[in-house]
Amino acid sequence: MSDDKEAQEDELLALASIYDEEEFHGAEAAQGGEVQVCVELPLDFKVVTKGDKQTEYNVCFLPPLVLNFEFPEDYPSTSPPHYTLSSKWMTRAQMSALCRRLDELWEENQGCVILFTWIQFLKEEAVHYLCIKSPLEVHRAKSSIKKNPDPSSASSSASSSSVAPLDPRAVVLLDPRVDLLPQLLDHDEARRQRLFDGKVFCCGICFSEKLGAACLCFKECQHVYCKTCMSEYFQIQIKDGNVQCLNCPEPKCSSVATPPQVKNLVGEELFARYDRLLLQSSLDLMADVVYCPRVSCGTPVMVEPDSTMGICSGCQYAFCTLCKMGYHGVGHCKLPTEELRDLRDEYLAASADGKKFMELRFGKKVIQRAVEESFSRDWLSENCKNCPRCGTNIQKVDGCNKMTCTSCKQYFCWLCLGVLCRGNPYSHFNNPQSPCFNQ
């Protein structure tokens, strides 16, 4: 009995020294504990959802198998540990097969401590032993409820479930009413981040070596820079209103930081500005969105197709989307562009008495707006061109004919207003078939 007791304590001590607190912790009231075992997956392992459209997701980590155990008094000399095996993503049939294999390993090593052997098998051989292949099929919650109320019938690979009995020590942690896929993806993301945080990276801006926990990794391109450099870069861009330009600093890389990454690196005030400007720039690109013309409001308003009436949800103002004045039904706008120019010319050519008369007739503010807007329209027409993507007025000051829109950052040709590709915008001017070849 004393030899068994000593062997049990030595084994628990060894497990505590090999695995961290998240992977193993001993029981307080008995000789036992819990081990979380992360199974090793093949390279390029995928999970797939079945439904109207099949979607595949690459994963490196799946939720761990949980081995709860307790030592009887005559372990390891005579009896094996009492245990249960549980999982969020395996079926009960698959875990029953693993329990049978754990029993076989005990029979082969009876009289010796067995937990480390069990853990290594579950970690390194479980996927191969169960013939689990990529992609692993994951059923959505509704499918599980309607077609597979027993989680043990929802697997892709346990062919022995129809002939082998289910082991009472196999426990299914998955609630069939809950969608499994988000849990798998969240766990994979958390484990990837934990692995990233422990590695050392060299920042491509300041060339300092820092742990991943102090770095930012762009999702699309996987380029890594330290958070200090990226925080300064993001703050400058947001203050300048360039919320569409929070991209990877690597030359010719178009990866963009995600909103959670931006929020993690700038203060609440700057992130609120970033969030507001990002929404506004997105709305500006939508043809069916206009803004309430009241200076004190400015709420975005959705407009029905082929309609010129907008009703602000904030202040309930009904206005014409063409002239931004109060809605006037099917009647013409009072001062379209052509009339503004005529009104300006007539006002500027009028005598002092004529100007007073026109100000009384149309209103001084209307006259001033006609003069200002007409001159502005003339200047824009003569000096600017419209971005082919968002319609923003762009003036060319100098440089080549490859232009970048200051609003939506679209590349376009100044000569023909054609949209240019982001990867190689100058191919438009190098292609002999292009109307702007060599220009």
361 or 288: which carries more pLDDT confidence?
288
Q: What is the mean pLDDT of residues 209-213?
A: 93
Last residue in a domain, options 284, 319, 345? 284
| Dist. CA 428–CA 419, nearest whole Å | 9
> Is 161 a residue whose pLDDT tops 50?
no
Q: What is the mean pLDDT of residues 192-212?
A: 92
Task: Give 299-313 as a DSSP string.
Answer: -EEE--TT--EEE-T
Position 296 in a domain: yes
Position 219 in a domain: yes
Q: Is 54 exposed, middle or buried (0-12, 13-18, 19+ CB in 10 A)?
A: exposed
37 lies in the same domain as 11: yes
| Active site residue ranges | 400
The CATH number linked to 313 is 2.20.25
In the structure, how many helices (H) and strands (E) does the chain have?
13, 20
Give the pLDDT score at 52. 56
pLDDT band at 155 (very low <50, low <70, confident <90, very high): very low
| Dist. CA 173–CA 176, nearest whole Å | 9
Window from 12-21, 169-178, 190-199, 384-393 with minimum mean pLDDT: 169-178
Give the pLDDT score at 353. 84
Residue 130, number of CB atoms within 10 A of its CB: 22
> Is 150 a residue whose pLDDT tops 50?
no
208 lies in the same domain as 144: no
Last residue in a domain, options 188, 207, 227? 188
Q: Is the pTM of this model over 0.85?
A: no
Show the domain range for 437.
Answer: 392-439
The CATH number linked to 214 is 3.30.40.10
pLDDT band at 241 (very low <50, low <70, confident <90, very high): confident
| Dist. CA 84–CA 72, nearest whole Å | 14
Q: Which two tokens stand for residue 63?
A: 């939720």
Q: Taken in order 135, 136, 141, 146, is the CA torsion positive or negative?
A: positive
144 lies in the same domain as 72: yes
| Dist. CA 274–CA 262, nearest whole Å | 9
Give the pLDDT score at 64. 94
The strand pair at 215-217 and 55-58 is best described as unpaired
The CATH number linked to 22 is 3.10.110.10
Window from 59-73, 91-105, 387-401 with minimum mean pLDDT: 387-401
| Dist. CA 76–CA 4, nearest whole Å | 6
Give the pLDDT score at 120. 94
Position 194 in a domain: no
The string of pLDDT tens digits covering residues 339-375 is 666 777 787 888 888 888 777 666 677 677 777 776 7
54 lies in the same domain as 179: yes
The answer to whether the beta carbons of residues 91 and 139 sit under 8 Å apart is no
Last residue in a domain, options 139, 169, 188? 188
231 lies in the same domain as 314: no
Residue at token pair 């027409």: 381
Instruction: Please state, in angstroms and as integers, the Cα–Cα distance from residue 262 to each residue in 192, 247, 272, 438, following that order.
Output: 19, 11, 11, 41
82 lies in the same domain as 210: no
CA angle 425/428/397 to nearest 5° reads 65
41 or 55: which carries more pLDDT confidence?
41
pLDDT band at 10 (very low <50, low <70, confident <90, very high): very high
| Dist. CA 189–CA 61, nearest whole Å | 8
Give the pLDDT score at 75. 93
The answer to whether the beta carbons of residues 41 and 60 sit under 8 Å apart is yes
The string of pLDDT tens digits covering residues 364-408 is 776 777 777 767 777 778 888 999 888 888 988 888 999 999 888
Position 55 in a domain: yes
Window from 137-141, 229-233, 414-418 with minimum mean pLDDT: 137-141
| Dist. CA 82–CA 102, nearest whole Å | 11
342 lies in the same domain as 400: no
Q: Which two tokens stand for residue 8?
A: 């049990």
275 lies in the same domain as 302: no
Task: Name 414's Cβ contacts closer than 8 Å, sequence gap at least 6.
Answer: 385, 396, 401, 402, 403
59 lies in the same domain as 17: yes
pLDDT band at 325 (very low <50, low <70, confident <90, very high): confident
239-250 burial code (b ≥16 CB/10 A, e <16): eeeebbebbbee
Task: Name 389's Cβ contacts closer than 8 Å, sequence gap at least 6.
Answer: 285, 405, 408, 410, 412, 419
179 lies in the same domain as 222: no
> Is 415 a residue whose pLDDT tops 80?
yes
Q: What is the mean pLDDT of the chain?
A: 83
| Count of domains forming the chain | 5
261 lies in the same domain as 362: no
| Dist. CA 289–CA 31, nearest whole Å | 67
255 lies in the same domain as 353: no
Q: Taken in order 414, 418, 423, 427, is the CA torsion positive or negative?
A: negative
Q: Is 165 exposed, middle or buried (0-12, 13-18, 19+ CB in 10 A)?
A: exposed
Position 20 in a domain: yes
Which residue, among 174, 176, 169, has the nearest Cα to 67 in the 3D structure?
A: 169
263 or 334: which carries more pLDDT confidence?
263
